[in-house]
Every structure is written in C-alpha cells, then in structure tokens.
Structure 1
Amino acid sequence: MDKKVLPVIEFKNVGLSFDNNEILKNVSFEIEAGQFYTLLGPSGSGKSTILNLISGQLSADAGEILFDGKVINNIPAESRRVNTVFQNYALFPNMTVFDNVAFGPKLKKMPKDKIKAKVREMLALVKLEAFENRAIQELSGGQKQRVAIARALANEPDVLLLDEPLSALDYKLRKQMQSELRAIQKRLGITFIFVTHDQEEALAMSDWIFIMNDGKIQQNGTPVDIYDEPINHFVADFIGESNIVNGVMKQDYLVSFVNKDFENLDAGMKPNEPVEVVLRPEDLDLVPVEQGKLIVTIADQSFRGDFYEITAIDDDQNEWKVQATNPSTVGARVGLDFGPEDIHVMRFNESEDDFDARIESYEGE
C-alpha cells in the first residue's frame, strides 16, 4: 500500500487575534508540494496574516501549523524552509544585483564558485543575466521585482511566499510578470503561495485558490470551479462580475426567479427553498424580444476594449449586466437569452462542506 503523501504545509484550526480583534478564525487547509496556490481576498481578510504565520513572523494563538507533517509553531523564522517576496522588494540598496542575490547563499557559507553559479542561474531564470553588476537604484520597478524573486529563490526554499509582489507595477508589466512567475514555478516545481486582492490575477496564475473574507476561508478550489460554482454571495460577487437575484428552488433542476421558472443543472435542495441565482454577464446574450427568456431595456453601455459593458433593466426593476461583442442602443427593448448551464443556484448560508456533499450526492445519481 502506498504511503499517504503529507501536505507540505497544513493549518489545523488556527486562530489569531490582535487587541481582541479576531484576524483568523479557526482556519484549516492543506498545501500540496509543487503547486501554485493563491490566497485571494479584500484588504483585512487575513491572507497576509497566513503568510506571516507560515514564515514565522507571527505566532498563532490557537491551532497547529505543520510543515512536512511536523508542528512548526515554535520553530524560529530563520529555521523554516521558506522565503518571502514582498511588495516593496526589500532589497539592499547599497549592494549590487549580484550581491543582493548572493546574500542568502553567503549566509549559508556556500563555496564561492557555487555562489557565483547559483546567482547566475537565478538571474538567467528572471532574465537579468546582464545586470549582475548594476546598482539597485539603477533598476526599474519590474527589474527590482525580478531581483527580489531571484534572491528568494537563491536560498532554495521548499516554499516561496509572495505577498502582493506585483501590485506596484503598471498593467502591462504586471501581466508580463504574471506569466513569468507562472513559468518559473512550473520550471522549478516548488510550491508558490501567492497573496493578491486582484481576482483576474488569481484566476490567471493559480492551480488552486483560497477565497478569504473576515478571517475565514470562504471557498477553495480550482479557478474554474470557483468561478463556475461560487458557494455564496460574497464569492460570486468578488470573483468576476455577477448578476445575483433572489429566487426559489421549486424542485431539483427547476428554479424560479423574476416570476418565471427556468430549468437548470442544480439539485439537492429542499422543495421551494429560497435561494440566490447567479448569471454571469458573459453568459447573457442580447436577442430580439420574441427570442428572449427575459425582456429588458438598455439603460447604459460603455466600451471596454474586448467587449461592451451593458446595463439593462427588466420590468421588475432588476438590473442586469451584460458583456456583448456588439453595441446596443440605450433605450432599446431587447431580450436576454441564456441556457440551463448558465444558471447557478446558491443556498443561503451553506458551508463549503455541505456544498461539496450536496454536489457529490446529485453527481452520483
């Protein structure tokens, strides 16, 4: 029988408070080796606190933090096999690029020839081979970020922690660095734990996402699962754009909202249970009135480059966001069309465990 592979990091019922303010509330999760994980949530949700607990900058009030199956709550930060890349780079301004990257290996008393080889390997990895003798002050923001990443990786950590490292970069450079970070993680095969409040960034980069809010993990899963199957109002509203309306789940695969019944793919709820219904703007099609499942009036539209962002109002004064490739006309009466697969039904106050159990129950039918 194969041995169970231990998670590289595990939180068991971890809690932390500052001045009677609960920052983390009974948080439990597992991190597997070699994957790109993202902690995603608004400011103050607890995501950076988790990084600081992993790195040893903070100590938990309750629960256990394990690394390769061993409790590390009392292990000092310098003895943990992790490194952190910060938003503000935290580089040594009086050192060259080479000396910044070599700092960790020198502390480990690595032989000089190996230090030189390691630094050049890391600078090649971040595409800064010709910059080793540059002063830090001579670098752009993107180049400084690359040096910070190279310096962290030169220490050969088992886990790399990244605390909003791209937030200070302009849009184009940020997109480029997203791709480069993803490629570096895949090439090295080490575990990355990335903190961001940018939903698009999390969806583009991650193997697995933890959605944080109010000191709790609201939902975790692959980017596709979280986007397509949000568990509650917060997740549906926080990840991407959403139309969320109240409804009633009349029976399995039949939901009522805006005074009409619609077939859908959800099940496992009580007959006539009050629910919330999610329809993504990109899943709504503008069609002639006679072809629409709903009839709306175009209230506003703006060009977003890849699509037109359209706001429409139905006769019950519900607002609908639509992403369309072609413009409409403000004031026009049109139909909204969508399929059963585009409707996602959420229970009120459903836990993630209950959600998973419900999904498994009707998928197994």
Structure 2
Amino acid sequence: MVEETPILEFSQVALSFGDAEVLKKIDLALEAGKFYTLLGPSGSGKSTILKLISGQLQADSGKIYFEGKVINDVPAEKRRVNTVFQNYSLFPNMNVYDNVAFGPRLKKLPEGEIKEKVKEMLALVKLAGFEKREITELSGGQQQRVAIARALANDPEVLLLDEPLSALDYKLRKDMQQELRNIQKRLGITFVFVTHDQEEALAMSDWIFVMNDGLIQQNGTPEDIYDEPINHFVADFIGETNIVPGIMKEDYLVHFVGKDFENVDAGMRPNEQVEVVLRPEDLDLTDIDNGKLVVTIKDQSFRGDYYEIVAVDDDLNSWQVQATNPATIGARVGLTFDPEDIHIMRYNESEAAFDARLESYDEEEAEAALQAARDDQDGSGGHD
C-alpha cells in the first residue's frame, strides 16, 4: 500500500531569535483534509509554526514540505495557504463584499465569478445578505466570520487560524467552534488551528500537537492526549487532574499514598518511580468502609452541571473530585476509583519511548490483569 504524501511536513525545523530557541528541530506531518490544532501556552512556539507555514518567517535549519516539495524559499504570496488572525485584520474602509472579494480581485478573476464566490462564502459563514454592511457595523463574531470568508475566498489548500476566537465571549466562542468544525468538514480542506484553550482543542480537533518550550510534547487524537498523557506537563495542561508520586512495583501493580493498586499499565522497570494520574471525573465519593482512600472534604464550588470538590488525604495529598451531588465541608469520606482510571507516567519519558511501550503491551495479559483487578475490587478493593 502506497502511503499518501502529507500536505504539510516539517523535518528537523529549528528557529531562534537571538539566543532564544523558539523551535527545536520540529518534526511533524499533516494529512490533507483534517482539522489539526497546535495547543500550548504563550511562547511555546505554536504561532511560530503557522508563520513558517505561511512564509512570514524563515527557518534557520530543516526543511518544510508542501505536497512533497520543499517550500522554504517559496514567497508567502505564492503559497497555497491563507491565515485568519486573532484581530481579524479586515479592511475598515471596505464593506463586507469588498473585503471578501479582495483576494479574488488580486487574482484578476472575472467580476461575475467574484460575485458568485463572495455569495458562496458569505452563505457558508451564515452572513448572506450582509454584502453592503460596513465593517464597523458588525459585531465581533460577525467580523470573525467575514475574516474566515475572506480567507476561504482565495481557495487555499490549507487554512491557518491563529487564535481566531480568543476575543469572543464564551457563548459566541462555543458557537464559532462548531461553525468552524462544520465549515472544515463541508469544504474538506486542511485546517491548522492555534489555541491555548484545552477545551477548545479537545472539542474541535481530529489531531492535536501539544507544545511547550519549542518542542512537541505529544501528538495524537483528543482522546489519546486526554486519556494517555505522556508526561507531567501534558497531564497537567490538558484539563484538571490529580498527579501523585508512586512506585510501579511490577506490571499492573502500582504503589502510591501508602497502598498497592491494580491498574492496566505495564512496561516499566520493577520498583521504578513513576507519576500516577487520576482525573477528577473518574473519582467517586463513598462511605469510608468502601473507599480505597480516606479523605477530608476541604472545599467545593458549584460549576453548573457538577460540583468541584477539593479533598485531602491523611498524607496531605490534595484531590480534586467532580461530583453531581454536593459534599459536606469537613466530612471524612471514602474515595474510590477503578483500575482502568489509573494512568501511570514515567518521569521524562519521550514520546517515541511511550509509543514503543504502548505497542509492546500484551493485550490479552492486560485484559486478564484488568479482570483480576475488577474481581479483587468486588472483594477487598486495594492491598494494604
């Protein structure tokens, strides 16, 4: 089977500004027709990658490919990409029609063809009938839609979106997330979206690259990134989480907070020091006799569809719990979870080593360990 050439590929791409390394030999490959997200904190290098794709910046070393051809020296205006910026960058002296028509006019397309293109793009972003509106008469969400329509009117093969929703209020932002996803699916072109918002990335993406300090920390589907974080940064950055130190005594058996617990992870060295991850939504409060841990409720806040509860165990480890019912501040209660809810991370494990460890799992052995853990849970719970 012949592998399809990526529409975009970085090979050992590096860039520095003075003494500051902004990107550190980045490798990535993007397939055509997918929604990709570059996710990370400010200064992680995600917007720099967009600027390298669009030609606004030049790499110090490495190669950038577009459909298999090196484009390092291709001028920005000749690259088949367009960018939607955070501040929209619309022309305030032009109305909606002229803003969207700007790119096709530069290409000297016939006016009749331009008119049809503008009509099609405005319908796509649900702004049909807004052609004569001045930009200053539009809301922030409407201006963002015009910016998207203007970019798409150039028929790009890749659309770059640099935090385009960050200036919108919460509800409008959620609506635009869905709109962008629908537009991408309808057009079938490649979207590369930059954000620092974890919830946004998880909701919109086919594939996520988590970035920090000029490196790709982990890449994968939203489910992979959330359920199988590779290191402390990814686990802590992607959603709320509980992380405690532990010792992997043997495959499928980890020791933390003074007890042994069956789990479904393997591939570590016997008695290796590890980090243990438990997501707040995977923890349940129960009575003390049925709890795997005993905790004291310290605080809680109402979040609409759940209560965010903070509890502390006898070793002063803090635990975040998401529960549908309120707890009583000061109460001593049990904390319970399932073996498959425990995720084990090696300290400073590389993504390549992580992937190799996952591939080495014996699925039948893991399933047998999980069943044994469930049987044990039905009986005594954990091991003291």
Q: TM-score, normalised by structure 1?
A: 0.99
1:69 is matched with which residue?
A: 68
1:146 is matched with which residue?
A: 145
2:93 is matched with which residue?
A: 94
Amino acid at match of 2:334: G
1:170 is matched with which residue?
A: 169
1:308 is matched with which residue?
A: 307
Tell me, in whole angstroms, the C-alpha distance in 2 between the residues paired with 1:121 and 1:139.
Answer: 19
1:250 is matched with which residue?
A: 249
1:26 is matched with which residue?
A: 25
| Counterpart secondary structure, 1:104 | helix
How far is the alpha carbon of 1:363 from its aligned partner? Answer: 4.2
Instruction: List per-residue Cα deviations over 1:3-58 (Å, max 9, x = no partner).
Output: 32100000000000001100000100100000000000000000000000000000
Work out whether 1:353 is the aligned partner of 2:352: yes
| Counterpart secondary structure, 1:132 | coil
1:1-365 matched pairs, under 5 angstroms: 2-363=1-362
| Counterpart secondary structure, 1:147 | helix
How far is the alpha carbon of 1:130 from its aligned partner? Answer: 1.1
Aligned length: 364
How far is the alpha carbon of 1:364 from its aligned partner? Answer: 5.5
Tell me, in whole angstroms, the C-alpha distance in 2 between the residues paired with 1:303 and 1:159.
Answer: 41
Amino acid at match of 1:26: K
Amino acid at match of 2:200: E
Amino acid at match of 2:251: D
| Counterpart secondary structure, 1:362 | coil
Tell me, in whole angstroms, the C-alpha distance in 2 between the residues paired with 1:124 and 1:104.
Answer: 17
Instruction: Give unpaired runs (5+ residues) of structure 2.
Output: 365-384
Amino acid at match of 1:295: V
Amino acid at match of 2:338: G
Tell me, in whole angstroms, the C-alpha distance in 1 between the residues paired with 2:2 and 2:352.
Answer: 26
Amino acid at match of 1:262: F
Instruction: Give unpaired runs (5+ residues) of structure 1.
Output: none
Amino acid at match of 1:159: V
Instruction: List per-residue Cα deviations over 1:226-251 (Å, max 9, x = no partner).
Output: 00000000000000001000000000
Q: TM-score, normalised by structure 2?
A: 0.94
| Counterpart secondary structure, 1:349 | coil
Root-mean-square deviation (CA, aligned residues, Å) is 0.7
Instruction: List per-residue Cα deviations over 1:103-147 (Å, max 9, x = no partner).
Output: 000111111111000000000000000100001010000000000
Tell me, in whole angstroms, the C-alpha distance in 2 between the residues paired with 1:83 and 1:363.
Answer: 45
| Counterpart secondary structure, 1:131 | coil
In the TM superposition, structure 1's runs of 4+ consecutive aligned residues that sit over 3 Å from their partners are: none
Tell me, in whole angstroms, the C-alpha distance in 1 between the residues paired with 2:188 and 2:230.
Answer: 30
How far is the alpha carbon of 1:214 from its aligned partner? Answer: 0.1
| Counterpart secondary structure, 1:10 | strand
Tell me, in whole angstroms, the C-alpha distance in 2 between the residues paired with 1:259 and 1:287.
Answer: 19
| Counterpart secondary structure, 1:54 | helix
Tell me, in whole angstroms, the C-alpha distance in 2 between the residues paired with 1:29 and 1:23.
Answer: 16
Tell me, in whole angstroms, the C-alpha distance in 1 between the residues paired with 2:145 and 2:340.
Answer: 42
| Counterpart secondary structure, 2:219 | strand
Tell me, in whole angstroms, the C-alpha distance in 1 between the residues paired with 2:355 and 2:59.
Answer: 28
Amino acid at match of 2:18: D
| Counterpart secondary structure, 1:311 | strand
Amino acid at match of 2:299: D
Tell me, in whole angstroms, the C-alpha distance in 2 between the residues paired with 1:35 and 1:347.
Answer: 31
Tell me, in whole angstroms, the C-alpha distance in 2 between the residues paired with 1:290 and 1:343.
Answer: 21
